[in-house]
Amino acid sequence: MSIFSKLLAFDFLFILLSCILYVLFGQITVRKLRKNPKTKNVLGMEYASGWDIINVASALAMPRRLSRKLEKGPLAYLYANSDLLFENTSKFDRILGAVFYWLFMSSSFVCVLLVLLNYLGVFDG
């Protein structure tokens, strides 16, 4: 196996792990929020079904100042309402959400980066 293939495989393990966390976070935290009438309608836009899981995770994982800024902007309907979510989640939910979100974002970012570098011929030499 080439170095590229090994790196990609290593990164894929993290993507897989984040997919497991995605299911767990969806079942543990987001299911609760979907049932809660206070938070039911503030989970952000669902581009595809299940996207609210990502919205909630990003609202819990992003710095509060950034989320507040975004939620006041004209595209607020895209994002979950972080203030309401913080009121209605436990510390465990927030940690789970943050771990899932950053693992997912970073591992898939690395995947895209590797694919791009490979495409540009960095690993050919």
Partner 1 sequence: MSEIILTNQLLSRQSFKEQCGIELSQLRDIHGRTPEFAIGNTPYLLEPASPVNNRPSTEGLSALNQLAPMYISRDLTNLSLSYGSDNVLALAQIRKNLYDFGTASVGASAGFHGNRISGFIKAVQEYQNALMQFREAIETKSPHKLAAEQKVNHAYKELQNKFHYEMESVTAQIKSRRGTALSNLERGKNIVRSSRNITKLDVTSQAQASEVAQFAKYTKFLGNGLAVIDFTSRLGNIQNTHKAGGSWHKQLFIESTSFIASAAAGTMMINAGSYGLGLLIAATPIGWVGLIIGGTLVVGAAAGASLGANYTLQQNSGNWYDAIMNALGI
Binding site for partner 1 (CB under 8 A): 1, 4-5, 8-9, 12, 15-16, 18-19, 47-48, 51, 54, 58, 62, 66, 69-70, 72-75, 78-79, 104-105, 107-109, 111-112, 114-116, 118-119
Helix (H, G, I), strand (E, B), or coil: what is residue 122?
coil
Give min distance, CB of 37 to partner 1, in A. Answer: 26
For partner 1, which is the closer residue by CB, 49 or 91? 49
Nearer of residues 16 and 95 to partner 1, judged by Cβ: 16
Q: Which is nearer to partner 1, 3 or 35 (CB)?
A: 3
- The secondary structure of residue 62, as a DSSP letter, is S
CB of 32 to partner 1, least distance (A): 22
Amino acid at 84: L
CA pair distance 110, 102, nearest whole angstrom: 12
CA–CA dist 45, 4 (Å, integer): 36
Q: Which is nearer to partner 1, 15 or 98 (CB)?
A: 15
Q: Of 42, 74, 75, nearest to 60 (Cα)?
A: 42
Q: How far apart are CA 28 and CA 19, in angstroms?
A: 14
